[in-house]
Structure 1
Amino acid sequence: MIQDKHECKQRHRWHNHVHPAYSIHGDILNIKIREGRNIMVQHIVKGERRPSCVLKNVNSLYVDSNTSQVPVKCNQCVSENIVIDKIVKSSEIHEVETSPIVSGTSPTRNVIFFIHGVGGSSKLWQHQIEYFYQGDYEIVVPDLLGHGLSSAPRPRKAYTFTEIANDVLALFDKFAKEKNILVGHSYGCSFCTKVACERSNQVSKLILISGGGPQSLEPQPCQIFCLPVWILSCIKPIIVNGFTKRAFKDPKKQSQSDKDNSFNAPVNILHAMMKGQDWAEGNKSYHAEINTPVLLIYGMQDQFISLYEEDEMVKTIPNCKLETVEAGHMVMLEEPDKVNDLIKDFIDNNLFEWSEVETPPDAYTPVKLSNTTSNSTFQ
């Protein structure tokens, strides 16, 4: 059973992370999926905005789950006396989430789930959170296991596709309402697809960004992440730099924050996630069973996946449309306004006009999709 925990216990990997105001508008929830698997979730509910403050060098300040109210003063807050109900601690900064301004249940019945890929975190979706917070949407944005502020168990088997997918399914079951929209990026698209098939009667719309083709996932036998973890630790700066150069259309135009957030996880987590991409079930036949309207968003300068793979998705999924953007793999960071508009238009249009994808003749060289993973699963 999933349990909410307002106290955030330090994990062995948290000590070298400094996290400023992580959630601007809502809660940061520590959701216990099961023993050893605690998922941090940004949960934003319209009408329940919670002002936050950042307290530096206040090591003695801590609130556990048994403490109901502790009044403090902070000149950074909107009020001189704020009642704290939880604190997320890190080595230098304490994030304080205050009691709700408006209590009660959420008035909206629309929930958007944003699921990131390998090496990312919920921070990748901040542009989308800012945009959709203004509308009639409840927003759920988790850090996958081992990423962001979520717990990071050591066993590699904790990071298989099935284990992570079960985490996402559990979160969906906890937060789902009448109308549920799933938005995934890269490897996160596979988890969203799994949920859309397993909970087909509850998922209203499915948006897959830079997700690749309709093919099974199998760990590639020979790649850089097959190297021992200690070697990966030594060359991690090279790996991150190489990813950044390929992930963005023009890395020089992206902020350092965007580049840091796009691929920032411990090497043992990256190693385990890449080795755990094993989903034989997710082939063309599986994708053909998706009965939810699907929007694909693809960056035309993506160096990890091809337009051909996205075109195969359009041909495989019954109700599917592809939109292209002049961007690389990290489309939602490079062109947030365009991505937000595409998502909102897709959500709002009940009668979506499906059309054939107009593919430039020289956009790709058709190749037969294999049963192994493509570069799209890198993240």
Structure 2
Amino acid sequence: MPKADPNRFAHLPLVRGQLIDVRPGRRLSVAVHQGNRDTVVFLGHGSGGNKDQWRELWRNLSEQGYTLVAWDLLGHGDSDKPRDASAYAWDELVADNLAVLKRYAGPRNLYVAHSYGTGLAMSTLLALPRQQPALRIDGALLLGSVLHRPVGTGGLLSLPNWLLTLLRPILAKDFRARAWHPEADPALVDYEDGLAQRNRLDVFKALMNNAQWPDAQALAGLDVPVYVVSGETDGLTPASGGEALARHLPNAHYQVLPCGHQLMLERPEQVLQAFERLAAHC
């Protein structure tokens, strides 16, 4: 299998941000593109990801005049990376999301999220009426989402960080096999795998141990239009889980794409089409 040409990705990252105090003691790298339409699109990545994974959608939507906001979760990308596991508590991450939405929301707002970020997005949307009643999200696109909390790496998450570090090559190989479609561009896979090596395993461990996926019954109150899109060979958030999620949402549409877990990187054109259908529906 051919290796990535390093020059091919020399222009990246495309989605560049700046550190912003979104809440006291919480500094996130936030990228903003100011468009000429009344719609703001919020882009939330998943565990182990970064805001530049939205680069294809960012390029297309900026050309269409949307205002775009993407951020690195705490512990990711260019955001601060505290070592205290309590910094990654679910409620803290949801509060970060609420702060970002409040700061940048416009007359019309759409939320696009991936993987772990979809759980945070759903919890954020459920919290809005109580914590930010004046703020409305008009629709959401959830990529690689599931109904129930994704299972991490089982008993491995109970191991000490130093041992996880020793096991990292095995964990990375397993992630690669489960996350990408067998026919995914090997250069893209190599590039993204290289970025993932910079992620701290203690952050991933804290995220998975602190995850509190929204309760399935609570989702009945999420009445905004939601498009759920799954990858047919996704070994991390299986398509069956995405289909189950769509069945529990009162206003959902469901689609499966011929790809793995990294939908917006493997099938950017089809993800863009799903977004455009959502935007037209809202």
Q: How would you bin the TM-score normalised by the shorter chain?
A: 0.7 to 0.9
Distance 1:259 1:23, change over 3 A: closer
Partner of 1:308: 240
Partner of 2:37: 108
Partner of 2:139: 205
More displaced, 30-39 or 323-332?
30-39
**Aligned partner (choices 224, 248, 257) of residue 325 of structure 1:** 257
Deviation at 1:284, TM superposition (A): 1.5
Q: Deviations over 1:202-237 (max 9, x none)?
A: 101111111111x3x498794222210001111222
Deviation at 1:306, TM superposition (A): 2.9
* Structure 2 unmatched ranges of 5 or more: 1-8, 130-134
Letter in structure 1 aligned against 2:250: P
Contact 2:140 2:225 in 1 (8 A): yes
Partner of 1:292: 224
Contact 2:50 2:73 in 1 (8 A): yes
Letter in structure 2 aligned against 1:223: G
RMSD after superposition: 2.3
TM-score (norm 2): 0.87
Matched, 1:191 2:120: yes
Matched, 1:30 2:19: yes
Distance 1:251 1:225, change over 3 A: farther
Matched, 1:275 2:205: no
Deviation at 1:335, TM superposition (A): 0.8
Q: Deviations over 1:4-26 (max 9, x none)?
A: xxxxxxxxxxxxxxx9766647x
Partner of 2:52: 123
Contact 1:118 1:263 in 2 (8 A): no
Deviation at 1:325, TM superposition (A): 0.4
Matched, 1:340 2:269: no
**% identical equivalent positions:** 24
Deviation at 1:311, TM superposition (A): 2.2
Paired residues, number: 267
Contact 1:186 1:210 in 2 (8 A): yes
Q: Deviations over 1:98-147 (max 9, x none)?
A: xxxxxxxxx43211111111111112111111111111211111000000
Q: Distance in 2 between matches of 1:300 and 1:258?
A: 20
Q: After the TM superposition, which residues 1-379 of structure 1 pair with which residues of structure 2 at under 5 Å, given as runs?
A: 24=14, 28-46=17-35, 107-199=36-128, 202-213=136-147, 215=148, 217=149, 222-250=154-182, 253-254=185-186, 255=188, 256-261=190-195, 264-279=198-213, 282-350=214-282
Q: Distance in 1 between matches of 2:275 and 2:12?
A: 23
Contact 1:120 1:264 in 2 (8 A): no
Contact 1:243 1:263 in 2 (8 A): no
Higher RCO structure (Cα 8 Å, ≥6 apart): 2
TM-score (norm 1): 0.66
Deviation at 1:34, TM superposition (A): 3.2
SS in 2 for 1:278: coil
Letter in structure 1 aligned against 2:74: L
Letter in structure 1 aligned against 2:25: G
Q: Distance in 1 between matches of 2:237 and 2:25?
A: 34
Deviation at 1:245, TM superposition (A): 1.4
SS in 1 for 2:19: strand
Letter in structure 1 aligned against 2:144: S
SS in 1 for 2:277: helix
* Structure 1 unmatched ranges of 5 or more: 1-18, 47-106, 351-379
Letter in structure 2 aligned against 1:341: Q
Deviation at 1:152, TM superposition (A): 0.7
Contact 2:45 2:53 in 1 (8 A): yes
